[in-house]
Chain A
Amino acid sequence: MTTQTAIKANRMPAITWHKFKGNEAEIELPALAAHDAGAVAFTVPPALMFMETTINGDVALDAGTAPVKEAFDEALAAAPEGLQQWETGMGEAADAWLDAAAKRRLAVLVPEGHTEENTLVIRIQAQDGAAAVAAVDLVAQAHSRLKVALHVDSPTAGSGVAGSRVRVFVGEGARVEFASVQTLDATWQHLDNIGAYVADSGRFIAEQTVLGAAESYTGFASNVAGREADTTVDTRYLGHGANKIDFNYVIRQRGVQSTCTLTANGVLMDSSAKVLRGTIDLIHGAKGAVGKENETVLLVNEDVRNKTIPVILCDEDDVQGAHGATIGHVNPEQLGYMKTRGLSAEQVEDLFAVATFDYAASHAFDASVRAAVERLGTRVLGDAYELLQEGE
């Protein structure tokens, strides 16, 4: 059970003028019941060790429980600035709220050198009047591989909050691929809070797709601490109706020759509003580090509101930081090309909205996600989407 509250979240590390109203998000959260057993489900691939907390607070044990705990302790020791003061993108207040609301917890250990490409699946289904929240901690030990798929959906009508707090430790030479898709209908709030630590030569690759919800808040922080460590983020979003989308990316590049690529592509329709704060912090000592970010926003209607706030912080001489943004209508070359195939300018812009759903559907990690994307696509775009899907 949570009480009605208002929290500030997604605050930029280096704030700008308050009059722009973009430094942080203010989230009004209603009083909500705790979710029941069906709201959060985990599917852990074989050979991974995990600890799972059931809805009743019991700890479901598997054979690897003790090693998981030991591994987390080791990770804490190996990454003092990472785990003990774990920075997440949404910030402390949201982190605490999510932590309190989470009734299902999962801790997973990928053993050293484990490279089987099975996917850990996390499903969160919104429940009317409840906070459906999962808290997940992942440790990928040295030279291991892990794929994670997170789906936040609202299969039934109602209102409430659905979301997650995920912390990821990427060990030396390890690679974690994290793909999330959010397909909430327009009556829900979505909170998505991620914190990562990336050790030497580790790679954390995140693909985030935000398609729905009345309000969607994504906070993403990565401590790219190791030498030649990397964090790559590819975000896609669609604003429609009157929904609000709020992103905060904070990439701390501490590692020598560490790299970061932050890419976002979005379409804003109707009277939707979106803020994307992208901060790449090139910290003293990160010699040879390269951080770049780029956002492309297609504004379909005149009533949309877009704020793109790229920030490169730099306290090291020998680094490269770059940012770019393209905001507006379809560029003339693309428009010209597509018109030669029979599409009008209006149809080209509509195509970008359809394509956002299509891309998510075609890259969905299973049939249920694809079905959820198509359900939402049909609700948002109506016949235009349904007819195109006909017979598929």
Chain B
Amino acid sequence: MADALLAVQGLSASAGEKAILHGIDLEVNKGEIHVLMGPNGAGKSTLGHVLMGNPAFTVTGGSIKLDGADITEDDVDKRSKAGLFISFQAPVEVPGVPLNSFLRAIVAQHEELDLKGKKYKKRVAEIMAQLDMDEAYLNRELNVGFSGGEKKKVEMLQLLLLQPKLAILDETDSGLDVDALNVVSKAMAAYREECDGTILIITHNTRILEHLPVDRTHVMVKGKLVAEGDASLITKIDAEGFEQFGHVEETEVLRSEDDPFGGFNVEDVLADAEAALREADAKRASESGEANEAGAAE
């Protein structure tokens, strides 16, 4: 579709030599809510991170367009400035950087927001009130010592502050209690209301979707999009599970299944990739050694 906000065509990606995503086609129009579902390890979070430009992954084929511009080769920070946002499952802690310093710095990179000085302070105060956050958080170091729910609130704070064109919410609901879930849901509603926000929700839990007007649902299994439908597909998945889409038990799990966040761990993927690279290096060295020996013999 020509006017799709996000247009992904034939996207394939790997970590090292390990192929993870296979020929993904996905279109998300402005103002829509799309849901990406699938069992643990299906590659959902990987797709989110590949869209964001995570250098842990290599795009091996296809393209990503945001608002008509090809961002496939762009660095992560450039994609952010172009209007892409991802909320993390487990946001990292950054000792030494107060939340306020971080927010001011990222707002300064998004000049279109025109949030300087008092405007910035006012806007942050408004959003923190919306999220039921005490402003004392601003003086705390970014995510350091924050509970899981507090970290997700900080992610939502950034979402509402930056007002991106497209927000990828990666398992934002995981590990949240009912109250925190309500706050996150409110934030998503505010994002849509205030800037006609577009959302791609990655989840394997349907609870957060209960009060959202979902436009399209996509199902991923083993790095492929295997089904697509409207919101009724969520109900069907709730009732019948993911087995209806194939041999889920054989799905390649990239992360320990007992992990409460599920589905993605860069370290695991990198470890696999590094192992594969070592294996390839060893093979090349072995072949080279054989060749040299062969050369010496000649």
Q: Which residues of A contact B (CB under 8 A)?
A: 236, 265, 267, 296, 298, 333-334, 336-344, 347, 351-352, 354-356, 358-359, 362-363, 387-388, 390-392
Bound CA span A337–B91, Å: 8
| A392, B85: Cβ atoms closer than 8 Å | no
Out of A338, A339, A340, A388, which one reaches B85, CB within 8 Å?
Answer: A340
Q: Which of B4-12, B64-72, B93-101, B240-248 contacts A (4 or more CB under 8 A)?
A: B93-101
**Chain A nearest CB, measured from B77 CB (Å):** 5
B residues less than 8 Å from A358 (CB atoms): 98, 100-101
Q: Which of B35-43, B106-114, B191-199 contacts A (4 or more CB under 8 A)?
A: B106-114
**Chain B nearest CB, measured from A12 CB (Å):** 26
With a 10 A CB-CB cut-off, give which of B52, B80, B141, B158 has the most chain A CB atoms.
Answer: B80
Q: Which residue of A lies closest to B109 (CB)?
A: A342
| A339, B96: Cβ atoms closer than 8 Å | no
List 5 interface pairs A-B (beta carbons < 8 Å), by A numbering: A336-B92, A341-B80, A342-B81, A355-B102, A359-B141
| A362, B92: Cβ atoms closer than 8 Å | no
Instruction: List the 8 shortest-distance A-B pairs measured between CB atoms, nearest first.
Output: A391-B117, A342-B109, A342-B80, A341-B106, A355-B97, A358-B101, A339-B76, A355-B101
A-B contact count (CB 8 A): 99
B residues less than 8 Å from A387 (CB atoms): 108, 116
Bound CA span A392–B117, Å: 5
Q: Which residues of B contact A (CB under 8 A)?
A: 52, 54-55, 75-77, 80-81, 85-86, 88, 91-92, 94-98, 100-102, 104-106, 108-110, 116-121, 138-139, 141, 158, 162, 266
B residues less than 8 Å from A392 (CB atoms): 117, 121
| B109, A336: Cβ atoms closer than 8 Å | no
Bound CA span A336–B92, Å: 9
With a 10 A CB-CB cut-off, give which of B86, B104, B120 has the most chain A CB atoms.
Answer: B104
B residues less than 8 Å from A356 (CB atoms): 96
| A347, B100: Cβ atoms closer than 8 Å | no
* A contact face: mostly helix, strand, loop, or mixed: helix
**Chain A nearest CB, measured from B147 CB (Å):** 18
Out of A333, A343, A352, A362, which one reaches B96, CB within 8 Å?
Answer: A352
Bound CA span A265–B94, Å: 11
B residues less than 8 Å from A352 (CB atoms): 96-97
| A362, B80: Cβ atoms closer than 8 Å | no
**Chain B nearest CB, measured from A209 CB (Å):** 12
A residues less than 8 Å from B55 (CB atoms): 336
B residues less than 8 Å from A298 (CB atoms): 96
Q: A337-B92, A337-B94 are in contact. Are A351 and B85 (CB under 8 A)?
A: no
Out of A265, A296, A340, A390, which one reaches B76, CB within 8 Å?
Answer: A340
Bound CA span A339–B78, Å: 9
**Chain B nearest CB, measured from A121 CB (Å):** 21
| A351, B162: Cβ atoms closer than 8 Å | no
| B105, A343: Cβ atoms closer than 8 Å | yes
B residues less than 8 Å from A334 (CB atoms): 92, 94
**Chain A nearest CB, measured from B83 CB (Å):** 10
**Chain A nearest CB, measured from B289 CB (Å):** 33
Q: A347-B105, A391-B116 are in contact. Are A340 and B97 (CB under 8 A)?
A: no
Bound CA span A336–B120, Å: 24
Given A265-B95, A354-B101, A388-B101, 6 more pairs with CB closer than 8 A: A265-B96, A336-B76, A338-B106, A342-B81, A342-B106, A342-B109
**Chain B nearest CB, measured from A292 CB (Å):** 16
Q: Which residue of A lies closest to B88 (CB)?
A: A337
Bound CA span A351–B101, Å: 8
| B117, A390: Cβ atoms closer than 8 Å | yes
B residues less than 8 Å from A391 (CB atoms): 116-121
Bound CA span A337–B116, Å: 23
**Chain B nearest CB, measured from A374 CB (Å):** 13
**Chain B nearest CB, measured from A74 CB (Å):** 39
**Chain A nearest CB, measured from B65 CB (Å):** 19
With a 10 A CB-CB cut-off, give which of A236, A338, A390 has the most chain B CB atoms.
Answer: A338
B residues less than 8 Å from A362 (CB atoms): 98, 100, 138-139
A residues less than 8 Å from B54 (CB atoms): 336
With a 10 A CB-CB cut-off, give which of B77, B88, B121, B158 has the most chain A CB atoms.
Answer: B77
| B98, A343: Cβ atoms closer than 8 Å | no
Q: Which residue of A lies closest to B110 (CB)?
A: A342
Q: A338-B102, A339-B77, A342-B77 are in contact. Are A390 and B116 (CB under 8 A)?
A: yes
Bound CA span A356–B55, Å: 28
With a 10 A CB-CB cut-off, give which of A236, A333, A339 has the most chain B CB atoms.
Answer: A339
Bound CA span A355–B105, Å: 10
**Chain A nearest CB, measured from B138 CB (Å):** 8
Out of A267, A296, A338, A359, which one reaches B98, CB within 8 Å?
Answer: A359
Q: Which residue of A lies closest to B79 (CB)?
A: A340
Q: A351-B102, A362-B139, A363-B139 are in contact. Are A296 and B80 (CB under 8 A)?
A: no
